Chains A and B, each alone.
Chain A
Amino acid sequence: MAEELPGAWFGFGFCGFGQALGSGRARRVLSPEPLRAPGAGLDVYRVSASWSYTAFVSRGGRLELAGAAGGAAGGCRDAWASEALLVLLRAGPGPEPGAELQAWAPGSALRGEPLWVHTVEAEAEGDDGPGGKPQAGPLPLLPCARAYVSPRPPFYRPLAPGLRARRLELGAEHALLLDEAGQVFSWGGGRHGQLGHGTLEAELEPRPLEALQGLPMAEVAAGGWHSVSVSETGDVYIWGWNESGQLALPTRSLAEDGKTVAGEAAGLHEGGPDVKSTAGGEDGAPTPFIAVQPFPALLDLPRGSEAVKASCGSRHTAVVTRTGELYTWGWGKYGQLGHKDTSSWDRPCRVEYFVERQLQPFLFSADQTNQKVIWEKNQTPQYIFLK
């Protein structure tokens, strides 16, 4: 890939702890605002947002926390924020190329000792520079791809040796894994269909999704109780719980508010034909509500767009397309959809903020929480970090 141009970060969603969205005053930020990280001029390349705080990691290895948890540290390569635990990947203590995994209590402000430490073996090749194999990760998957971190004990969890993990994401009760061949695996609790095997049964061990076999996936993302995968050809597959429309399927709760695709359209964000969801039902027949989708469903994005990246909050979903548009849907009560209001949506809606400014969202991370963060690839080479 070409050398990455520097870009700017934007954030929106729940901000009840002053965690660096916009001015940091409002409890919720309804439309993207430039992100302000503590410390000016930080060249942030990784943001991990938990519900009450956010972790920023800069290319120089500096970690900064904002929100209910504070503190800073150096020598960090990666960070993963959750309410129970802050996990850091830091350069090893000695001269060897290994790294150290540290788990901290978020309230510790990174002072004192971490709760536990685990030495991670050196990987075959270093950073994602040219000529190097792209690393697995980010956290919670370790760079060696042999294990991952969990916010609940046991914290360090080895993966079966046969699994060649490229990406791993954790939901509230389940885990998704994408291997190097593009096959998706899932395990954990399945009561909301989030495992995608067609049942509500739990799985103790990673189990491949048969429905997606033969369709190489490029990305996976896990929400609280739903799962998304994006194929190499840009198709979006989605399954799990749809209680707030996070699967872009008609949901009863929104119908009662008059906002579901099966009911009256409550105002579109883009011109052009109505977006229809992929729910069943012939034309003219009332579309049934879908509470749980236990098999992957193919999702049509507006205008036949191809997706390149997907990310999920606990009850919402976001997708960036090849043409640089951001679509969000699902639970919107805290502005986490970025549509300038607090509506929830059960169909993909484009975030107009970026279109209006001719900005192209490129890469982003959302989290188990309401908060959503976007890294946007700007045209002008500029590092922008604002608090």
Chain B
Amino acid sequence: MAEDINRDPLAGAGALWEALLALLPRTKEELKLDLSEKVERSVVMLLQEATELFYGGRRNECLQTSEAVLDYSWEKLNTGPWQDVDKDWRRVYAFGCLLKAACLCEASEDATTVAAALKVCDMGLLMGAAILGDILIKVAAILQTHLLSRKRPAQGPTQEQPSTKKARNEHVSIPDMKSERTVPRLHCPSLQYFRKHFLVPERPVILEGVADHWPCMKKWSLEYIQEVAGCRTVPVEVGSRYTDEEWSQTLMTVNEFISKYIVDEPRDVGYLAQHQLFDQIPELKQDISIPDYCCLGDGEEDEITINAWFGPQGTVSPLHQDPQQNLLVQVIGRKYIRLYSPQESEALYPHDTHLLHNTSQVDVEHPDLEKFPQFAEAPFLSCILSPGEVLFIPVKYWHYVRALDLSFSVSFWWS
């Protein structure tokens, strides 16, 4: 490397680089790793070496060292159940992502490089844990702004049809619900009324007038989502349902997801499901609120898990139960939802494996009654949830969901 002792090792060209540098600690001493003893000494050494290389302006070596940190910590992240992975390993991973993304941007500011750096940030957000005051979110925002300001003409697949759905040959079977008991509906009940009549007795209910004025109801469309989140990397589930053998999870940008699984006559079902999109992209969080009813729980507000569920017509979530209370807000499109009380669990034939013990073996709309005879007699409630409506799914209440249209829902899990 050319050595010019008088030259600031971190001097780089470009406004993007300056903006990134402004976010980072100014010196390597100020970059506090703050890692517990759970993280092996050798890894800490390597990470320290990477930060030294970074602040010493030795970008290529920093990239290599960061890569080694990423590869090793990735293995830790894949060891054991996710909830048991030590948070500090996730922070190590996030540090690796931060340094790698920064090094990439020091070299070049062209769209391909910045998109790659943004993907690295998203990996750090998806798999890592918060470091340096949520720095990865800020870095990602800067990179995203930079990408959008150099908008290429063919950024998204189709931008001119935000709300039209392609005519599909497949039938959309809207369930004939005449014979089904429907979920009761209430308009803006008071907190006490809701608690007394639904939360405590654990009864489902649809709340109207609660979320229908949220900004998302008017603002969100395919076009808007592509604008705000198009270049961001998200996890996508591919396959009809997660109980299928062919089912898998993969990563892609929101643009790729829309192009492949929503717009262009998709071959497979893809579902952007159960993803904390609003932590990743704070701008979207401004379009939603947290329903007041969540504060009736025991937890703190920051313990509420907010998930996005975005996918084409036809996505199915097999009948299953969750360990927390759920308020499901429908934003785009309609969903057919069936609900079975936990008291009916036996008639729902849950899988006996540990992995799927909260999932029923029965295909709700095409049940094999020879194999699962009791299912036919199990009572249930059902509804078609439409934009603006909020469904309360009590803790452990079995629920089955099928999207009747292109759909976007937001769920709030609380205790």
Contacts and interface: CB of A to CB of B under 8 A. Distances in A.
A54 to B, nearest CB: 12
A173 B40 CA distance: 17
Contact of B45 (A68, A84, A191, A333): A68
B233 to A, nearest CB: 15
Interface in A24-70: 27, 51-53, 68-69
Contacts of B180: none
Contacts of B43: 52, 83
Contacts of B81: 191
B42 A225 contact: no
Interface in B64-84: 64-65, 68, 71-72, 75, 78-81
B355 A173 contact: no
Contact of B353 (A68, A201, A334): A201
Given A16-B46, A83-B42, A225 B248 contact: no
Given A106-B42, A202-B354, A16 B65 contact: yes
Interface in A192-246: 199-202, 224-225
A52 B80 contact: no
> Which bracket fits the contact residues of B?
20 to 34
B41 A27 contact: no
A200 B353 contact: yes
Contacts of B40: 52, 83-84
Contact of B42 (A52, A224, A315): A52
Nearest to B46: A16
A270 to B, nearest CB: 29
Nearest to A189: B80
B79 A173 contact: yes
A225 B41 contact: no
A189 B82 CA distance: 13
Contacts of A291: 248
B64 A314 contact: no
A333 B71 contact: yes
Contacts of A83: 40, 42-43
Contact of A51 (B72, B80, B353): B72
B61 to A, nearest CB: 9
Interface in B186-228: none
B254 to A, nearest CB: 19
Interface in B26-60: 40-43, 45-46
Contacts of B68: 14, 16, 27
Contacts of A84: 40
A362 interface: no
B42 A17 contact: yes
A200 B75 contact: no
Nearest to B76: A172
A314 B75 contact: yes
A274 B103 CA distance: 40
Contacts of A14: 68
Nearest to A83: B40
B105 to A, nearest CB: 23
Given A200-B353, A201-B355, 20 more contacts: A14-B68, A16-B65, A17-B42, A17-B46, A27-B68, A51-B42, A52-B43, A52-B45, A68-B42, A83-B40, A83-B42, A83-B43, A106-B41, A106-B42, A172-B75, A189-B80, A199-B353, A224-B78, A225-B78, A291-B248
Q: Which 6 interchain pairs have the tightest Cβ spacing?
A: A52-B42, A83-B40, A68-B42, A172-B79, A107-B41, A16-B68
Interface of A: 14, 16-17, 27, 51-53, 68-69, 83-84, 106-107, 172-173, 189, 191, 199-202, 224-225, 291, 314-315, 333-334
5 contacts: A52-B42, A68-B42, A83-B40, A83-B43, A224-B78
